[in-house]
């Protein structure tokens, strides 16, 4: 039995080493992805702002003086550059800083959105892995215990409600669960930054009297989340939220009218679609995650096998005949 335990431990050590190698690949892939995403995001943000000023609300933009237009454009440039720098800073694993005042609520709201996006990507990776898995002998028995199955369902790993506690989060890169948690938190921060910069530029446009000053923020946020979680490309120009809402007449409550509202709404899927290199890097990340899931299932199986072997050895060591 001791030899069996030693053999299982060697298998786990080999799997841990392989997972650590995948961790380096995944972190390097995210570094390349974020360095590519930052300038593409900045370009798409400026294009979305341009569309709102020239196609969405041209008369409002024309009412601005030259200095007011330049001030607005300068504000958009500065905000977009700052957002790009924040995205690139996510590659610093030792300092995954979260701005308490700006992003706490954003991260909490986007956890549900992240889970939906992750499940969509999981479906895509499963399709790519099916042919490979059919050629290999199954590593796990067909009949699995409920807790074993739950342990292998990475998309259901609970994230801490307070992500602020993870400012200096550094995962155990030999543990597939910890590594996937890091990956999910990185995705959450990407979405949070896109949400924040969209809101910041919309505020600049409202302050310049381009967007309606009484833009209903709760409705805008709900529509933005709904458009992201739909998983479909929205009709119309990319990264623009187009709403038709009913507005009551303040003087006559019985009268109301439909008002069209447009605003900046950066969507990760649309940003990736606009750049072939970025799309390719996203596919590379999915492929690495597919390999991680495969090794993770083997890791979970070996951990359970080790627990059983140790429990059997402990039973024999403590059993005696009366």
* 179 has a pLDDT exceeding 70: yes
Average pLDDT of span 74-84: 96
Would you say how long the chain is, in residues?
Answer: 322
Of 29-38, 92-101, 127-136, give the lowest mean pLDDT range. Answer: 92-101
Pair of tokens at residue 63:
């009412």
Average pLDDT of span 223-243: 71
Judge residue 72's burial from the number of C-beta atoms within 10 Å of its C-beta, 0-12 exposed, 13-18 middle, 19 or more buried: buried
Q: Enumerate residues 6+ apart whose C-beta is below 8 A from 194.
A: 41, 266, 267, 268, 271
* 290 has a pLDDT exceeding 60: yes
Predicted local distance difference test score (pLDDT) of residue 117? 54
Counting other chains too, the contacts that 27-30 makes at CB distance below 8 Å and 24 or more residues apart are 27/91, 27/93, 29/281, 29/284, 29/285, 29/288, 30/90, 30/91, 30/183, 30/186, 30/285
Q: Where are the domains of the chain?
A: 2-318
Q: What is the pTM of this model?
A: 0.74
Predicted local distance difference test score (pLDDT) of residue 125? 62
Residue 85's pLDDT band, with cuts at 50, 70 and 90, is very high
Average pLDDT of span 258-278: 90
Residue 163's pLDDT band, with cuts at 50, 70 and 90, is very low
- The distance of Cα 249 from the centroid of its chain, to the nearest Å, equals 40
Average pLDDT of span 94-110: 47
More confident residue, 84 or 232: 84
Q: Which of 69-83, 110-124, 137-151 has the highest mean pLDDT?
A: 69-83
Average pLDDT of span 25-51: 96
Of 17-26, 66-75, 151-160, 283-292, give the lowest mean pLDDT range. Answer: 151-160
């Amino acid at each position: 039995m001791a030899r069996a335990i030693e053999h299982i431990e060697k298998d786990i050590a080999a799997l841990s080493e392989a997972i650590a190698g995948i961790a380096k690949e995944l972190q390097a892939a995210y570094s390349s992805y974020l360095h590519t995403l930052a300038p593409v995001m900045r370009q798409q943000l400026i294009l979305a702002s341009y569309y709102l000023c020239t196609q969405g609300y041209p008369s409002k933009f024309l009412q601005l003086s030259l200095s007011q237009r330049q001030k607005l454009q300068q504000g958009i440039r500065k905000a977009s550059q700052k957002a790009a720098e924040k995205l690139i800073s996510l590659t610093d694993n030792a300092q995954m800083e979260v701005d308490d005042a700006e992003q706490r609520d954003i991260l909490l709201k986007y956890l549900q959105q992240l889970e939906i996006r992750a499940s969509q990507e999981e479906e895509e990776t499963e399709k790519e892995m099916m042919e490979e898995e059919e050629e290999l002998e199954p590593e796990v028995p067909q009949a699995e215990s409920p807790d074993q199955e739950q342990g292998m369902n990475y998309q259901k790993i609970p994230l801490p409600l307070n992500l602020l506690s993870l400012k200096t989060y550094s995962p155990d890169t030999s543990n597939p669960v910890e590594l996937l948690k890091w990956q999910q938190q990185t995705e959450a921060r990407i979405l949070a930054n896109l949400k924040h910069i969209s809101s910041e530029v919309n505020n600049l446009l409202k302050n310049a009297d381009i967007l309606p000053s009484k833009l209903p923020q709760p409705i805008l946020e709900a529509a933005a989340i709904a458009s992201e979680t739909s998983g479909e490309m929205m009709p119309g120009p990319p990264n623009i939220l187009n709403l038709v809402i009913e507005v009551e007449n303040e003087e006559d409550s019985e009268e109301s009218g439909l008002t069209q509202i447009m605003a900046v709404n950066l969507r990760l899927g649309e940003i990736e679609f606009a750049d072939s290199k970025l799309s390719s890097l996203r596919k590379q990340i999915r492929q690495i995650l597919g390999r991680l899931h495969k090794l993770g299932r083997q890791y979970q199986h070996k951990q359970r096998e080790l627990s059983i072997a140790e429990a059997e050895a402990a039973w024999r060591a403590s059993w005696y005949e009366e």
